[in-house]
């Protein structure tokens, strides 16, 4: 999975687990994080109140939560192109091309 080097400059909450994430190159992505909240590090984010504690890390320029959970900013930048592949990896499914 290749992706761009990116810096998150802002985000806006659009729903319980949905954020509009804006990047330093002027682009933005609308991301529903709920399907990604699996595993020991990310499951605590399923709690709406805990998810809402998201902040931008001033050094890594990505989204981060108080328990140390974060997402690669390049992955988030390229989300519209990689989301299906990434979600398949999380759920253990193999993608097949038509």
Residue of 81, 41, 88 lying closest to 65 (CA atoms): 41
Tens digit of each residue's pLDDT (9 = 90 or more) over 12-40:
999 999 999 999 999 999 999 998 898 89
Share of residues in the chain with pLDDT > 90 (%): 67
Measure Cα distances from 35 to 57, 61, 76 in Å.
22, 22, 14
Confidence of residue 4 (pLDDT cuts 50, 70, 90): low
**pLDDT at res. 87:** 72
The pLDDT, as a whole number, for residue 7 is 94
2 phi, psi to nearest 5 deg: -95, 145
Task: Tell me which CATH homologous superfamily contains domain 8-91.
Answer: NE0471-like N-terminal domain (3.30.2020.10)
Phi–psi pair at 48, nearest 5 degrees: -55, -40
Phi and psi, residue 56, nearest 5°: -95, 125
Measured over the CA atoms of residue 48, residue 50, residue 55 and residue 58, the dihedral's sign is: negative
The predicted structure's pLDDT at residue 95 = 38
- pTM to 2 decimals? 0.83
Give the pLDDT of residue 98: 39
In the chain, where the domains are located: 8-91
CA–CA distance, 35 with 62 (Å, rounded to integer): 19
């Amino acid at each position: 999975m290749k992706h761009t080097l990116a810096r998150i400059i802002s985000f806006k909450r659009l729903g319980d687990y949905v954020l509009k994430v804006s990047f330093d190159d002027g682009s933005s992505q609308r991301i529903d994080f709920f399907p990604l909240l699996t595993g020991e590090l990310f499951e605590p984010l399923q709690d709406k109140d805990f998810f809402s504690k998201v902040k931008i890390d001033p050094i890594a320029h990505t989204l981060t939560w108080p328990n140390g959970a974060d997402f690669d900013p390049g992955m988030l930048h390229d989300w519209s192109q990689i989301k299906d592949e990434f979600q398949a990896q999380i759920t253990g499914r193999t993608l097949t091309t038509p």
